[in-house]
Amino acid sequence: MGRCGLGFLRLLITMHHIYCFSGLGADGRIFKQLVLHDAKLHFIEWTTPPPGQTLAQYAQSLTTQISHPQVVLLGVSFGGMLVTEITRLGQAGMLPFAIKSAIIVSSCESRRELPWLLRIAGRLQLHRLVPYSMVLGLNGLNRFLFDPKTKAEEMYLKRMMLKDTQLLLIKRCVHMILTWQYAQPPKAVVHVHGTADRLLLMRGLRVDHAVKGGGHFMIWNRAGEISDVVNNVLGAAAAP
């Protein structure tokens, strides 16, 4: 085998397979600004959960989309909550693959880290009264919570939020979040959070890397800093 062939083989062996869990209702496009080394991104596709499914059960159902023996998990917002649940399953020896690293961005690691208003809303089942199609169509509210920096980001959020096919998915996943039972975060999850996140305030969270001024959409508009963190984690995972 020639030098080029050996180099390609070495790349295949050392390449990180990163399974990406986007925010609720979003898709793989939110990761498109990242620049990651020796990595192939695989985007988890949302499926509509059956009524009454828990966050842990939903997370386990999505693991059927993971096809490599060793993986890195990367989750944003709701996707980060799923990553923590899958990490917990891995640490309990309940998965057919090994997790080399788990990284969450603009998210939280347990029910205990949810804002207290959300915990109360879940306890009182207030989310069942929410007119989702109306709330998701409030452009001013979405701009305030997600803090998009460009027209392209605003257009992406608008299309994502107003997608009729997403309403049932969002409604059931919000129920999962607000009734999340898992209170103890798993070990070895790398948490990246913005100091200006308005949806999940950083106060009270266990954070490994704080991005100064970063909002809830920083996976897109602060992608350079997020890329640096992820690349450092990948480098540590590859070290002997």
pLDDT digit string, tens, across residues 28-42: 888 999 999 999 999
**pLDDT at 171 (0 to 100):** 81
Q: What digits encode the pLDDT tens for the residues 201-228? A: 898 899 999 999 999 889 999 999 999 9
Name the CATH superfamily housing domain 17-238: Alpha/Beta hydrolase fold, catalytic domain (3.40.50.1820)
**pLDDT at 70 (0 to 100):** 96
Strands, E, within 106-232: which ranges?
189-194, 209-211
**pLDDT at 136 (0 to 100):** 46
Between CA 201 and CA 137 the distance in angstroms is 23
**pLDDT < 70 stretches in the chain:** 1-13, 116-149, 153-165, 183, 237-240
Between CA 211 and CA 219 the distance in angstroms is 11
Tokens 């992406």 found at: 156
**pLDDT at 128 (0 to 100):** 52
From the CA atom positions of the chain, what is the Rg in Å?
18
